[in-house]
A = this chain, B = another copy of it.
Amino acid sequence: MKHVRVGIVGFGTVGRATADIIAKHASLIERRSGVKLVVTAVCRRKPIPEAEAPEGARITTGWRELLDAPDVDVIVETMGGVDHSLQLLRGALEHGKPVVTANKKLLAEHGDELFALAVAKNLPIGFEASVAGGIPILRVIHESTAGDRLIALHGILNGTSNYILTQMESRSIDFDQALREAQLAGYAEADPTFDIDGQDARDKLCILARMAFGGRLDVNRIPTHGIRHVRSVDIRSAARLDRTIRLVASAEHSAHGLDLSVRPWMVSRRSMLAKVEDVNNAVFLVGDRLGTQMFYGRGAGGDATGAAVVSDLVEIARDLAAGRLSAKNVVGFLESRELELAPEPKPAGWYLRLTVNDEPGIIARVAEVLARERMNIDSVQQEPHSPKERLSLFFTVEPVSEPTIRRAVETINDFPFMVEPVLLLRME
């Protein structure tokens, strides 16, 4: 029986769950894979009480010493952040050690360098845990759709935003309260910007799109809108249209290139997107032959992320034992071509919420702006019982291009009766 010795750097939720799963499922892992995983070292800046450390593991505070430690075969990075973790992955690969990480920010920003290094060293980087937690979406894209051409992918990739949106809907609470509760429940950081403004979903979309469509992609080129400005009036308005709101990361092929975005969508309540509730994630893949596939599960949390880390460790351990480590899973990242983005996303229906200081003629003036851009109005609503000085008006319009709707929104935003800018959501 081959022992594969694991060093874990960072010992927060994910690090602990990883160590715990390795300990508790040791015999299951052995039986299935023929290798025994053992945590031999744990590294954390703040010292760890002896009692909390995995049995038999030594504890260190400096990650550098794991790089050439003879008792560590694989390094798991769970520190987060970009500076130290970049140095750690670089150092590990340079010292001939495979690595596993859940750090999507690191990979979205420095994937090119790290994957090139992995290939140069012929070593794997396991990063299944970096996107959609426990959902094995990267393996699915890499292996199972190997014989198919992907046309589109859509995902609910940020558990925090999804939790906030579903709580706002199911309990009729407003955004601020839902966010506070998410923070108390440990689903949102003290500074929630990264989750609620869409950057977390954007980083994950970057990784998914590169794997699915094969090419380089600057994460900053993905148009990103979060859910910060969604209010309970919008949830109620969606409900009246038999819809709900989801933060959707999407990538679609068109004749002109790839149409990428992260933004809130108003989706049918009967759609599968609407069924994804709380902190769950889902990814929809559309293949030329396979049609639409959906993969659903827990998107975050120590257990799901830890289980994904361990699935990578098992694969690496198997290959290590068989003497066949390789960088096989990073193909999509190594293509030198740049993914070509569509200059203009394809037309969509839109939802507009206006917050106005009521006066006669508002609907007429807004309708005139929309008419001037040749848009067809699909529905108009007014929030019942709202104060005259802060009245919510909702319009949905038939599919038009994004530049067209944005031009109209800019004109509307300039009207003196507008209390705050228009909220714009894409209709599914």
- Chain B residue numbers with a CB within 8 Å of A144 are 128, 136, 139, 308, 311
**A98 at interface (Cβ–Cβ under 8 A)?**
no
A146-B315 CB under 8 A given contacts A135-B293, A289-B304, A304-B289: yes
Q: Are B296 and A293 in contact (CB under 8 A)?
A: yes
User: How far in angstroms is the closest Cβ of chain B from A331?
Assistant: 6
Contact of A214 among B31, B313, B314 (CB under 8 A): B31
Q: Are B145 and A307 in contact (CB under 8 A)?
A: yes
Interface residues of A in 187-236 (CB under 8 A from B): 214
**A147 at interface (Cβ–Cβ under 8 A)?**
yes
Expressed in whole angstroms, the Cα–Cα distance for A289 and B298 within the complex equals 10
User: How far in angstroms is the closest Cβ of chain B from A355?
Assistant: 32
Residue of B nearest to A298 (CB): B291
Contact of A314 among B146, B149, B291, B292 (CB under 8 A): B146
User: How far in angstroms is the closest Cβ of chain B from A219?
Assistant: 22
Q: Are B331 and A303 in contact (CB under 8 A)?
A: no
- Chain B residue numbers with a CB within 8 Å of A314 are 143, 146-147
Q: Are A306 and B289 in contact (CB under 8 A)?
A: yes
Expressed in whole angstroms, the Cα–Cα distance for A311 and B149 within the complex equals 12
A303-B290 CB under 8 A given contacts A146-B32, A310-B147: yes
A149-B28 CB under 8 A given contacts A287-B307, A303-B289: yes
**A21 at interface (Cβ–Cβ under 8 A)?**
yes
User: How far in angstroms is the closest Cβ of chain B from A216?
Assistant: 15
Interface residues of A in 282-335 (CB under 8 A from B): 287-298, 303-304, 306-311, 313-315, 318, 322, 324, 326, 328, 331-332, 335
- Chain B residue numbers with a CB within 8 Å of A322 are 324, 326
Contact of A17 among B33, B289, B324 (CB under 8 A): B289
**A148 at interface (Cβ–Cβ under 8 A)?**
yes
Q: Are A291 and B296 in contact (CB under 8 A)?
A: no
A289-B146 CB under 8 A given contacts A32-B214, A214-B31, A296-B272: no
Residue of B nearest to A287 (CB): B307
Q: Are A32 and B136 in contact (CB under 8 A)?
A: no
Q: Are A292 and B297 in contact (CB under 8 A)?
A: yes
- Cβ proximity bits A119-163 to B, threshold 8 Å, 1 near / 0 not: 000000000100000111001100111111100000000000000
**A45 at interface (Cβ–Cβ under 8 A)?**
no
User: How far in angstroms is the closest Cβ of chain B from A341?
Assistant: 20
**A95 at interface (Cβ–Cβ under 8 A)?**
no
- Chain B residue numbers with a CB within 8 Å of A270 are 275
Q: Are B291 and A303 in contact (CB under 8 A)?
A: yes
Q: Are A295 and B293 in contact (CB under 8 A)?
A: yes
- Chain B residue numbers with a CB within 8 Å of A149 are 25, 28
**A29 at interface (Cβ–Cβ under 8 A)?**
yes
Residue of B nearest to A136 (CB): B144
Q: Are B310 and A146 in contact (CB under 8 A)?
A: yes
Q: Are B294 and A297 in contact (CB under 8 A)?
A: yes
User: How far in angstroms is the closest Cβ of chain B from A169?
Assistant: 14
Expressed in whole angstroms, the Cα–Cα distance for A322 and B323 within the complex equals 12
- Chain B residue numbers with a CB within 8 Å of A331 are 32-33
Expressed in whole angstroms, the Cα–Cα distance for A296 and B318 within the complex equals 29
A21-B289 CB under 8 A given contacts A272-B275, A311-B146, A324-B322: yes
Q: Are B136 and A143 in contact (CB under 8 A)?
A: yes
- Chain B residue numbers with a CB within 8 Å of A22 are 147
Q: Are A33 and B146 in contact (CB under 8 A)?
A: yes
Q: Are B293 and A134 in contact (CB under 8 A)?
A: yes
Expressed in whole angstroms, the Cα–Cα distance for A145 and B293 within the complex equals 19
- Chain B residue numbers with a CB within 8 Å of A21 are 147-148, 289
User: Closest 3 interchain pairs by CB?
Assistant: A147-B310, A136-B144, A293-B297
Would you give 9 A-B contacts (Cβ < 8 Å), ordered by A? A21-B147, A32-B214, A144-B311, A147-B309, A148-B307, A272-B272, A275-B275, A290-B298, A293-B295
